[in-house]
Structure 1
Amino acid sequence: MTVTYVIDGSEITGLERFWQLIGEAVNGPGGYFGNGLDAFADCLRGGMGTPDDGDFVIEWRDHALSARALGHEETARHLRGLLGRAHPSNLPRLRQELARADDGRGPTLFDRLLEIIRDETAPGTLRLL
């Protein structure tokens, strides 16, 4: 039986709020389901609240509102936060991504989250409404 996890995109105001909402959608109030892009990908692979057989759907309602909240401005804010703790070998790439985000170009956090979901789950898992 397919389990559906609902994300209310109208409640997403930034990346931190996304982590809260996806955690609660999968694991109930106060639940955890990643608190970083790599951790989120790990959680999608299983063992963190989703069915062992991978039979689940993520229904992302009002996703257009989320796309705005997780757009270039939030992406730039996130990248600035990474600069202070990134390995020196990653700094040139992060600075380049930050410059693009500051200019309103390149992939956003919303784009990256969709990519992770599509890469780590079965086709049809993500439903954008």
Structure 2
Amino acid sequence: MKNEIHHNKMTVINGGHFSDLEGFYEEISTVFMKDTDWKVGTLDGFDDILYSGFGVFENSEKLEIVWKESQKSKEDLGFDLTKEFYENKIRQGKPFNVKLIQGKLDELIEGKGQTLFDILIEIIESHKNITLILE
């Protein structure tokens, strides 16, 4: 009798494929939503995908995400890009909560805030069924 080994589903995000947040969303859209027209375009949208799985995995099914070249992503989605991300939102104003975002920007500049990379990691790790492996 053959031993059935149950593998967790595994998904790979490749940091070599992108260098900014838009590129990250493209990568995620390709990885998670091959057969849909819907594209990720926000942090909330990314979080939503991890809830629903869009057919790549079932909701609450165990999933492993391997983030290749994560060190590159950490730098790409680091301080400079995050600062620009917040500044753009502040410049745009509504519908964004400018006061809240200014606070996040101030924290970032003081060295206490999260970078976009940190935020993405936090979003992934908030899903208990997902294991993140940084390579």
Fold-level match, TM-score > 0.5? Answer: yes
Percent same amino acid among aligned pairs? 28
Distance 1:35 1:81, change over 3 A: same
- TM-score for both structures, normalised by structure 1: 0.82
Distance in 1, Cα, partners of 2:38 & 2:74: 22
Matched, 1:41 2:75: no
Counterpart of 1:93 (choices 96, 100, 112) is 100
Please tell me whether the aligned partners of residues 24 and 32 of structure 1 are also in contact (alpha carbons under 8 angstroms).
no
- TM-score for both structures, normalised by structure 2: 0.79
Unaligned runs of 5+ in 1: none
Please identify, of 45-54 and 22-31, the stretch whose mean Cα deviation from structure 2 is larger: 22-31
Higher Rg of the two aligned structures: 2
Please tell me whether the aligned partners of residues 32 and 53 of structure 2 are also in contact (alpha carbons under 8 angstroms).
no
Please tell me whether the aligned partners of residues 79 and 115 of structure 2 are also in contact (alpha carbons under 8 angstroms).
yes
Matched letter for residue 98 of structure 1 = L
Distance in 1, Cα, partners of 2:133 & 2:39: 18
| Cα offset, 1:72, TM superposition | 0.9
Number of residues paired by the alignment?
Answer: 127
Distance 1:111 1:54, change over 3 A: same
Question: Structure 2 matches for 1:25-104, cutoff 5 A?
Answer: 25-28=31-34, 32=38, 34-52=40-58, 53-83=60-90, 84-87=92-95, 90-102=97-109
Which residue is 1:18 aligned to? 24
Unaligned runs of 5+ in 2: 1-6
Distance in 2, Cα, partners of 1:12 & 1:65: 9
Please identify, of 33-42 and 95-104, the stretch whose mean Cα deviation from structure 2 is larger: 95-104
Matched, 1:127 2:110: no
Please tell me whether the aligned partners of residues 86 and 105 of structure 2 are also in contact (alpha carbons under 8 angstroms).
yes
Matched, 1:7 2:20: no
SS at match of 2:87: helix
